[in-house]
């Protein structure tokens, strides 16, 4: 389009000399905008002009020597490309005018009814409309090219538009999602109803909402997404649509989970590491100091583990540690904290547990470990474990005190012949 100070370049396609003269006269009388008019009498000549010159708008008569009626609009549309077409017609027929618009015209005017500024105004509106359509197409292209999934819904959450990224994220084609609710397609059930009630309470109050959601792909796979939803209001302030922007954060979540696991677990056995265990032990000691109750600490050490490494190799030693860790996991409750403190030294924190329960669990664990047999070319490898147990005390000033008691009991078990459980009382 020409700049504001440049004349609007008009291609006038009109075979009637009188009508062409009228159009040129009306446009040249306009004081607000100047027009540069090129007049041709047929579509064939118009096509030649369009190939060799630039125009901002085409004024098109429907009755030409080489075309007639709506076919003229269709041919003109193909020739003009993105240039707006204003049809000049002698018929003040609304249905015909609508047909012309459907055929590709941007607007229309009835000949002889231009008024003082009517034709110039229609041309300016046509140019503005094309400019807005171009801008809207650019926005849609940007939305469709966006890496993030974007959807537009009505106030009932029915999908009205979605970009290709939504299909890539969910596995559903755009045709499949139109008119459906996201909850009907991708809801995983991992969020409870209170989650969605809170979300809708904010949205219906006109507030922007942002959160993380676990949703379900069409193939059943779960994925994590960061979801942002914004209400869209009309001129009266009423909510008429919602725009949702979704970002797949599954890879980030997996990385966070991996980093969390590396920071909190022993890489060989998968048990909690020393740092986490000591932190949990401190928390449990503080809880007992404040609220009372009971908890037991088990210290465990594999018997003659150095001999296994020396005689059967470190790979076999690692297998021993992993199988021992599996026994610990199998015998632990959800509230227990099994951990590898280092080397062949392990520990289990048993919250809300008394002496008898702890000794039963420790003895069961000892027996299962004694039944472990690992194949090796030199013969079967068997292991045993010595276990020391101590009660956390309300008088402990720090967690080191119970660690020392349980450790003392464990060494008493070793000195007494190994492969046994010793309570701290018998360590004195």
- The answer as to whether 379 is a domain residue is yes
Q: Find the CATH number of the domain harbouring 45.
A: 3.40.50.2300
* Nearest residue to 244 (alpha-carbon basis) of 215, 272, 222: 215
Residues 319 and 228 in one domain: no
The per-residue pLDDT for range 309-323, each reduced to its tens digit, is: 999 999 999 999 999
- The answer as to whether 236 is a domain residue is yes
Among candidate residues 200, 226, 253, the one where a domain is terminated? 253
What is the pLDDT, as a whole number, of residue 428?
47
The per-residue pLDDT for range 70-82, each reduced to its tens digit, is: 899 999 999 999 8
For range 261-275, the mean pLDDT? 92
SS3 of 268-335: the string is: CCCCECHHHHHHHHHHHHHHHHHHCCCEEEEEEEECCHHHHHHHHCHHHHHHHHHHHHHHHHHCCCCC
Which tokens belong to 395?
């008088």
379-392 core/surface letters (b: 16 or more CB in 10 A; e: else): eebebebbbbbbbb
Residues 274 and 236 in one domain: no
For range 191-204, the mean pLDDT? 93
The per-residue pLDDT for range 45-71, each reduced to its tens digit, is: 999 999 999 999 999 998 899 998 889
Residues 107 and 122 in one domain: yes
- The answer as to whether 178 is a domain residue is yes
- The answer as to whether 258 is a domain residue is no
Q: How many domains does the chain have?
A: 3
Residues 237 and 171 in one domain: yes
The per-residue pLDDT for range 383-399, each reduced to its tens digit, is: 999 999 999 988 887 88
> With a threshold of 0.75, does the pTM exceed it?
no
- The answer as to whether 245 is a domain residue is yes
DSSP for 307-324, please give it: HHHHHH-HHHHHHHHHHH
Q: With cut-offs at 50, 70 and 90, classify the pLDDT of residue 33.
A: confident
Residues 116 and 161 in one domain: no
Residues 120 and 230 in one domain: no
Q: With cut-offs at 50, 70 and 90, classify the pLDDT of residue 5.
A: low
- The answer as to whether 1 is a domain residue is no
Which carries the bigger pLDDT value, residue 315 or residue 5?
Answer: 315
Among candidate residues 222, 253, 284, the one where a domain is terminated? 253
β partners of residue 68: 63
What is the pLDDT, as a whole number, of residue 206?
93
Q: Find the CATH number of the domain harbouring 240.
A: 3.30.450.20
Residues 127 and 32 in one domain: yes
Residues 212 and 289 in one domain: no
Residues 275 and 166 in one domain: no
What is the pLDDT, as a whole number, of residue 427?
47
Among candidate residues 253, 285, 300, the one where a domain is terminated? 253
Sign of CA dihedral 12, 13, 17, 23: negative
Residues 303 and 232 in one domain: no
The per-residue pLDDT for range 203-229, each reduced to its tens digit, is: 999 999 999 999 999 999 999 999 999
- The answer as to whether 259 is a domain residue is no
Residues 372 and 324 in one domain: yes
Q: Find the CATH number of the domain harbouring 279.
A: 3.30.70.270
- The answer as to whether 136 is a domain residue is yes
Count, residues in the chain: 428
Q: How far apart (Å, rounded) are the C-alpha atoms in residues 21 and 25? A: 6
Residues 126 and 195 in one domain: no
Which residue segment(s) compose the domain that 164 sits in?
Answer: 146-253
């Amino acid at each position: 389009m020409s700049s504001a100070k440049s004349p609007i370049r008009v291609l006038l396609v009109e075979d009637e000399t009188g009508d062409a003269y009228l159009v040129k006269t009306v446009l040249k009388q306009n004081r607000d905008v100047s027009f540069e008019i090129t007049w041709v009498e047929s579509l064939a000549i118009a096509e030649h002009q369009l190939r060799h010159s630039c125009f901002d708008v085409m004024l098109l008569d429907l009755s030409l020597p080489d075309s007639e009626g709506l076919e003229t609009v269709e041919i003109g549309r193909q020739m003009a490309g993105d240039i707006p077409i204003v049809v000049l017609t002698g018929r003040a027929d609304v249905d015909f005018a609508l047909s012309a618009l459907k055929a590709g015209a941007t607007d229309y005017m009835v000949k002889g009814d231009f008024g003082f500024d009517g034709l110039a105004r229609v041309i300016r509106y046509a140019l503005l409309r094309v400019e807005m359509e171009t801008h809207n197409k650019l926005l849609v292209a940007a939305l469709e090219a966006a890496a993030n999934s974007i959807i537009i819904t009505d106030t009932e959450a029915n999908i009205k538009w979605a970009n290709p990224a939504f299909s890539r994220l969910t596995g559903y084609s755009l045709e499949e999602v139109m008119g459906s609710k996201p909850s009907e397609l991708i809801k995983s059930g991992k969020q409870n109803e209170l989650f969605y009630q809170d979300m809708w309470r904010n949205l219906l109050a006109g507030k922007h909402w942002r959160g993380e959601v676990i949703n379900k792909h069409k193939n059943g796979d779960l994925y994590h997404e960061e979801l942002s939803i914004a209400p869209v209001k009309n001129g009266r302030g009423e909510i008429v649509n919602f725009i949702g922007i979704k970002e797949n954060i599954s890879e980030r979540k997996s990385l966070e989970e991996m980093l969390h696991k590396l920071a909190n677990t022993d890489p060989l056995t998968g048990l909690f590491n020393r740092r986490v265990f000591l932190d949990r032990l401190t928390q449990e000691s503080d809880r007992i100091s404040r609220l009372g109750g009971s908890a037991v600490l088990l210290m465990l050490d594999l018997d003659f583990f150095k001999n296994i490494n020396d005689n059967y190799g470190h790979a076999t030693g690692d297998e021993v540690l992993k199988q021992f860790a599996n026994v610990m996991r199998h015998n632990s409750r959800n509230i227990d904290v099994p951990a590898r403190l280092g080397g062949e030294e392990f520990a289990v924190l048993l919250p809300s547990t008394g002496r008898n329960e702890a000794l039963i669990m420790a003895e069961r664990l000892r027996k299962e470990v004694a039944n472990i047999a690992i194949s090796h070319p030199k013969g079967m490898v068997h292991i045993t474990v010595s276990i020391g147990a101590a009660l956390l005390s309300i008088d402990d000033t720090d967690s080191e005190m119970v660690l020392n008691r349980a450790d003392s009991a464990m060494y008493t078990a070793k000195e007494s012949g190994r492969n046994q459980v010793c309570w701290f009382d018998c360590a004195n």
